């Protein structure tokens, strides 16, 4: 019994240790991949068609879901906060709450989550399929860098499109908040927008955009890394896709917190 316990204890210890080593290795691999993609941005012009295609995928193909999520995020935040504020007769200030929440946190976060689920997962699956079907090997044999050919266009497209989609999410979320403020909290549009403009600080905008830029790098970097490391056929592609989504979610949350802490932690 005790030998069995010791055996399982060391087994657990070994498993945890291996997971830590794997995580460090994957982090290093992803960072190197992003640095290499940065190096290949010198080829942005020659890869403009692929970059535009990836931008199209990130924007147009997620447009509907981003719109719905943005609108309802603003509406939910307005309703939940507005009800509490109304108890203190402060509902007129709902515009300040909505714009601060959307620009600083919810806009970049919700956009990143949607793009991870739709674009990041597709990236991991596409590159993973190319890896297991030897297309990535074929690129290497043609002396074509898979980072230049596959990763760089996706990283550049996401680094551009996540901030753009975030601005759109912020705008639509603010509109959604306004609808609730107007129809459910009886705050007029004029009052709502005067408070929105009052709290629309430059710092909130640029920290939000910086966050979304970094989220774009994280989503594309993690997804491409997972795709390039896929093994074992369809099963491996499924695993790579799942891991890309899970890791991107976690990284968006954790890095998002630290960016907020850096810019707002001492206020």
Partner 1 sequence: MIEFVDVYKYYNTRAVLKGVSMRIERGETFVIIGQSGTGKTVSLRHIAGLVDPDGGDVIIDGVKMNGAKRRVKTALREKMGVLFQSGALINWMTVGDNIALPLVEHRLHPPDEIEKIVAEKLHMLQLTDARDKMPADISGGMRKRAGLARSLVRNPEIILYDEPSSGLDPVMTSVIDQLIRRMQREYNITSVVVTHDMGSAYAIADRIAMLYQGEIIQCGTPDEIRNTENPIVRQFITGSLAGPIPVV
135 interacts with partner 1 by CB under 8 A: yes
Minimum Å distance from CB 144 to partner 1? 5
Please answer whether residues 128 and 240 qualify as being in contact, where contact means their C-beta atoms are separated by less than 8 angstroms: yes
25 interacts with partner 1 by CB under 8 A: no
Minimum Å distance from CB 140 to partner 1? 7
Closest CA to 120 of 238, 237, 241, 214: 241
Minimum Å distance from CB 18 to partner 1? 13
87 interacts with partner 1 by CB under 8 A: no
149 interacts with partner 1 by CB under 8 A: yes
Give the integer Cα–Cα distance in Å for 157 and 49: 11
Which two structure tokens, joined as six digits, stand for 87?
């108890």
142 interacts with partner 1 by CB under 8 A: yes
Among 22, 25, 84, 134, binds partner 1 (CB under 8 A): 134
Give the integer Cα–Cα distance in Å for 98 and 78: 7
Stretch that binds partner 1, among 28-36, 111-119, 141-149, 165-173 (CB under 8 A): 141-149
Stretch that binds partner 1, among 17-25, 77-85, 116-124, 130-138 (CB under 8 A): 130-138
Closest CA to 211 of 257, 245, 246: 257
User: In degrees, to the nearest 5, what angle opens at C-alpha 61 toward C-alphas 98 and 112?
Assistant: 40
Among 138, 235, 250, 254, binds partner 1 (CB under 8 A): 138
Which of residues 9 and 56 has its CB atom nearest to partner 1 in the complex?
56
Distances (CA, A) of 29 to 15, 24, 25, 155, 196: 21, 9, 6, 15, 42
- Interior/surface letters 55-82, b for 16+ CB within 10 angstroms, e for the rest: bebbbeebeeebeebbbebbbebbbebb
Give the integer Cα–Cα distance in Å for 20 and 157: 31
Give the integer Cα–Cα distance in Å for 233 and 125: 11
Which of residues 212 and 223 has its CB atom nearest to partner 1 in the complex?
223
Give the integer Cα–Cα distance in Å for 164 and 11: 47
Stretch that binds partner 1, among 33-41, 74-82, 135-143, 188-196 (CB under 8 A): 135-143
Minimum Å distance from CB 134 to partner 1? 4
Count of residues that bind partner 1 according to CB under 8 A: 13
Stretch that binds partner 1, among 9-17, 129-137, 176-184, 209-217 (CB under 8 A): 129-137
Which of residues 25 and 198 has its CB atom nearest to partner 1 in the complex?
25
Among 51, 93, 114, 130, binds partner 1 (CB under 8 A): 130
133 interacts with partner 1 by CB under 8 A: yes
Q: Which chain residues interact with partner 1 by CB under 8 A?
A: 130, 133-135, 137-144, 149
């Amino acid at each position: 019994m005790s030998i069995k316990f010791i055996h399982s204890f060391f087994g657990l210890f070994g498993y945890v240790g291996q997971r830590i080593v794997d995580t460090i290795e994957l982090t290093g691999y992803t960072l190197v991949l992003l640095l290499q993609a940065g190096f290949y941005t010198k080829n942005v012009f020659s890869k403009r068609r692929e970059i535009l295609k990836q931008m199209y995928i990130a924007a147009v193909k997620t447009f509907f879901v981003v719109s719905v999520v943005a609108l309802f995020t603003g509406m939910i935040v307005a309703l939940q906060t507005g009800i509490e504020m109304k108890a203190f007769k402060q509902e007129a200030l709902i515009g300040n709450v909505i714009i601060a929440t959307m620009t600083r946190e919810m806009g970049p976060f919700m956009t990143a989550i949607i793009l991870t689920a739709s674009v990041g997962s597709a990236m991991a699956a596409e590159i993973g399929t190319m890896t297991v079907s030897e297309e990535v090997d074929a690129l290497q044999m043609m002396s074509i860098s898979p980072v230049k050919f596959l990763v760089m266009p996706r990283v550049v497209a996401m680094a551009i499109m996540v901030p753009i989609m975030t601005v759109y999410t912020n705008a639509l979320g603010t509109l959604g908040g306004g609808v609730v403020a107007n129809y459910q909290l009886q705050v007029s549009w004029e009052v709502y927008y005067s408070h929105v403009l009052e709290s629309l600080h430059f710092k909130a905008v640029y920290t939000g955009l910086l966050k979304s830029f970094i989220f774009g790098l994280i989503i594309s970097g993690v997804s491409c890394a997972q795709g390039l490391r896929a093994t074992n056929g369809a099963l491996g592609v499924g695993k790579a896709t799942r891991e890309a989504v899970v890791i991107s979610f976690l990284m968006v949350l954790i890095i998002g917190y630290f960016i907020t802490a850096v810019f707002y932690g001492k206020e």
